[in-house]
Structure 1
Amino acid sequence: MPIRRLSVRGVRNLAPLDIHPHSRVNFIYGDNGSGKSSLLESIALLSSGKSFRSNQIKQLIHHDADRLELECELDETGADAQTQDLYSLRLRNGDVLFRLDGSVLTSQAQVATRLPVQVIEPNTFRLLVGSPEDRRQFLDWGVFHVEPGFIEEWRIFRKVLKQRNSVLKQKEVSWLDVWDGGFIEASEKIHQYRLAYLKAFVPQFESTLAALDAEIKVRLHYYPGWEKDSQLKDILTRQQERDLQLGYTQSGPHRAELRIRVDKLPAADVLSRGQQKTVVAALKLTQGILYKQSCGNAPIYLVDDLASELDSRHRLALCQVLEDLKCQVFITSIEKQQLMDSWTPSEFKVFHVEHGKIEEESLS
């Protein structure tokens, strides 16, 4: 579902803008600090409620503004295709409002299902060097978007986990058996969703990585959050005393991790920065491929600073996979020619950003 029109107000140094991006490839160039990344950041924020540059949403709001407003028109596909209008308002005090065609949406998840976005940017290698939570969230993005029932099961699990932790903090040992049954049932459902997704993900990832760089040999290993050869029930019993001391649950899907290794070592300890970015790009592209196989459309890709960490060969390979996906892409670089040398798609638009203002360039 590509973006037909994008409107941004009150984001960082960007001047108020309304653009009509191409449904396929959009090249965006300009000097450092001109606002290129802020444009991509706006799309990511509308989709996920998060910035890929800051953990503080307040930092995204222009210093002279009390709010930021994001709006886009989305083109549906199919015989009965229509345009949808998606709107988000965020106030400096933290209040948020979402609307779809004028009707209020109640959660960020409802927005994400309509605007799936993948980001590839200079710090994406943190997926390898960051915390297990980073990789767990990456895995669950894929499960969430291809398994409609996952989000509700995840909410149930989080509720049961919260209740069990409350019991542990209050040292109510007699209540643990009551909550353990529900916790184990909910945990197993989350585990099965992830396993089913990874069954398709792993071979596709290996194929995609080979397309980017056949010399990098990486293997994915899934740790469910408890010992694989043990029953979660037995582990909870064995860890009960320690859980009571700590006041929280040590084992379960909330401790799961996607481990990325070269031989038996963490990939981050073996690969160069450029190789790490290639691996992360393969991970992100694989999610888009599986999403398209499941839903019929690819997510929107935001590629910030294409030249960072990747040489020309790897840039060309990355762009070829994006070309094959036939998805909408927003891709930035400092120099226009560097973009055009990496990729010359048949359908595209070029935008220049200067001092927070963005203008579409004539291709003639």
Structure 2
Amino acid sequence: MDEICKSCMTRRDVLKGAGRLSAALVASGGIPSVFAGAAEIGSKASVDINDKLDRRCLLTVLRMGHCAPSVMDTLLVDRKGNYEDMVRLTSGLPGGIGNTGAECGGVTSPIMFLGLKQGPEGEGESLLDLVVRGGGYIKRFRETHGTIYCREIQTPEGGISPCLRAMCSGRRLTNEVMGTDLDRLKSEIEAGALKSYDRLLSLFQDRKFHCAHCVLGELGGVIDVNKNLLKGSLGFVGGTVLRGDTCSALTAGVLALGSKIGEIEDSYIRVMSMMFKMMTGGDAMGDDVNKFNKAINVGNKLALWFKDRYGSTRCGDIVKTDFSNIDSVNKYLSSNRIESCREITLAVAERVQIIFSDLNV
């Protein structure tokens, strides 16, 4: 078994409960009749489906099969935006950004959506307001689910229900954050942290540095670096809105892979087949099983390379900086770690191009 398959084991195990989910949805009338027979393959044990779950998101999951694309699709349909390419961009994010178990797709897609809808329009505008809104979303998501990390949400013991709740809270929490006054969101953050964020972002702007955009800029001749991609990736700075989580250069690399090789799954039958494979020990993560799988698997290859090279996929581990602490930020700036981060973005962009070359795309 290769490394990618090993990294998919948790995802495969947790979705063994998919049959029970299907049975519950059939009983509630919330799933097309084509699933009625297939649902019998699940356990007879019932699944408690929270009435507050987003019904549209549930049905989207059942035709797409993976978290981040399902959440993005739900958000886009709700807002009636013509941004179909945004769903494709998220195709490598399931399983926690390249299947690493990091930020849940119920976090990454809303962060992208916030950038798309409420991010700054011009290069000279500050990212602070978006960082505040993104932080507000993360705060609410963590309060709702106890964590923002895929590896802690999806467990073999918990089955698929925690994942569904995480995915199906995305639209509600996003609407809540978008509708909340910015000053109120700022009041939820310590004044020292706001000052630290503002100082760091000002220096980033002066040095023309943005973790994700530096990667995407290097790939301009290889992928379509359009307005949606640039705005959607605005929140991927400093490890996802300066939280020090997944290195935003790596996240940008995964987004770039999705933009080029990502396909959109849109079949209840194929998703049910994937669930059946998961329950029976088949290879549910094969590239031909679900159209998102190829981007997930290739994204995982990029993440494995990144971890091998830098020792971690977390921004905080790599730069040894707490961006909410002004002393830590001053040390980061005085030691010129921005240039070290810039070197990482160049390395990621180069690796993505190598992957594209290997795939002949």
TM-score range, shorter chain: under 0.3
If the length of structure 1 is used for normalisation, what is the TM-score? 0.26
Larger RCO of the pair (alpha carbons < 8 Å, separation 6+) = 1
